[in-house]
Structure 1
Amino acid sequence: MVSAPLGGSRICVRADDAGLEKAQKWAAFLQAPLNPENPENYFFHFCVEGDRVFVRDLEKRLLEIDFDKNHLDYERKGHRGKNELIAKALGVAKGARRILDLSVGMGIDSVFLTQLGFTVTGVERSPVLYALLSEAFARTKKDYLKSYQLHFGDALEFLKKNKGLLEIDSIYFDPMYPHKKKSALPKQEMVVFRDLVGHDEDASLVLQEALTWPVQRVVVKRPMQAEELLPGVRHSYEGKVVRYDTYVVG
């Protein structure tokens, strides 16, 4: 999948004394310099301050993933359980419980699925988001997130390598798409998020591969006015802003 390049002057790691050991691990993983002399030369700063881990860009916009602080609505109150559209689309009424999320992103949908009682395995291709997610899962005090299995990798390659090796009931896919509204920028987290991950130019190939897996359903999250990612949608569960296109496999 296509993502913004992170080499060269794209990202550095910055740490205080308390976070130095953890920062060394992530600097090696991200192949980024640690505490460089001229941090202003790097567009993204991956910051480790004690137990807190976050990303800030040169325009001072912040991206932080913390499931317990809940600033991104990770703990949804008053949800409708099995009557949630995403649960219906994934086949909860048909016994689907084990979900493979091919594009974890900031983890908002993945965490919600665990809150609804699903067992979730997630894949994230952005090394920066994977690092932020890993730290968030390690820190969380929420018991229902302890069993979450997070993998780093490209979704298409993950599907090819792991077909038949995982016990999965349904697959969930929320591909990034080009942001066409230039007049109203989303909140700062989404701006940094889009800058980091770009958009998924091979989304249709990922979906094609997902449809070869021995699962009940593959569900693709789409904007309401967007066209189907591939023909063959069996049913769409429509909300006010997004819909869930369901492909029935088995």
Structure 2
Amino acid sequence: MAKALRWSEFFKCPINPADTKDFFFHFHVEGERVFVRDAEKRTLEIDFDKNHLDYQRRGHQGKNELIAKALGYAKGCRKVLDLSVGMGIDSVFLMQLGFQVTGVERSPVLYALLTEAFKRTEKEYLKSYQLYFADSLQFLQEHKGQFEIDSIYFDPMYPHKKKSALPKQEMVVFRDLVGHDEDASLVLKEALSWPVRRVVVKRPMKAEELLPGVIHSFEGKVVRYDSYVVG
């Protein structure tokens, strides 16, 4: 009940409303389990230990992973700011690769799910993760120079973008919760003004550059990582 009360106050929503039809999303607290279910009975849950979204990637190539190369692992970059945590899939992978990650998530529901998942996890390498509830653009504007960051990572959502790591049911809920990052180019422009060594944007392979100035693109089969070298 204490957990339910906390999130009820955070969302400014009632606990056990008389008519659940008044709400499209329902936030469930059932013991240790926390999840979201929409009016169509589709469920979204974040659990780093159950690993149903392949959080524990086996057989990875360490510093040779494209995302690690893009963020400058070989150049000594270790401290990363993730501007769009989402389901935490990339953030958790970066922690697994040895990066120290600070994350920003603007969706209150995803922030709540992530917060509970980080509290609940038994994976020691995730214990140091720092998560902030904020709009990315506002966070960048208000905290410039206040964090010791080597690289910034940004994975914006667009209408044409596919979150292939998510099962279809969860992808629908995720899209409904997150919407589209219409201000993505503004976020990137602000990120490029930070005193960091690299800013990396994850893009679908055939998508245009978010902003001109890409120094190098690290290309995979489905996505690429556009790297902007700042300093």
1:21 is displaced (CA, Å) by 1.5
Q: Of the candidates 177, 196, 218, which is equivalent to residue 199 of structure 2?
A: 218
1:33 is displaced (CA, Å) by 1.5
In the alignment, structure 1 segments of 5+ residues that lack a partner are: 1-19
State the Cα RMSD in Å: 1.2
1:168 is displaced (CA, Å) by 0.2
What pairs up with 1:1-250 in 2 under 5 angstroms? Answer: 20-179=1-160, 187-250=168-231
In the alignment, structure 2 segments of 5+ residues that lack a partner are: none
Q: Is the 8 A contact 2:105 2:111 kept in 1?
A: yes
Aligned partner of 1:15 in structure 2 is none
Q: Is the 8 A contact 2:36 2:44 kept in 1?
A: yes
| TM-score, scaled relative to structure 2 | 0.97
Q: Is the 8 A contact 2:55 2:93 kept in 1?
A: yes
1:126 is displaced (CA, Å) by 0.3
| Post-superposition CA distance 1:190-218 (Å, at most 9, x none) | 11000001000000000000000111100
Task: Give the % identical residues.
Answer: 79
Equivalents in 2 of 1:180, 1:166: separation in Å? Answer: 30
1:40 is displaced (CA, Å) by 2.5
Equivalents in 1 of 2:213, 2:174: separation in Å? Answer: 30
Aligned residues: 228
**AA at the equivalent of 1:123:** V
Q: Is the 8 A contact 2:83 2:154 kept in 1?
A: yes
Q: Is the 8 A contact 2:46 2:114 kept in 1?
A: yes
**AA at the equivalent of 1:55:** V
Q: Hey, which bits of structure 1, 4+ residues long, moved more than 6 A?
A: none
| TM-score, scaled relative to structure 1 | 0.89
1:128 is displaced (CA, Å) by 0.4
Equivalents in 1 of 2:178, 2:208: separation in Å? Answer: 22
**AA at the equivalent of 2:80:** I
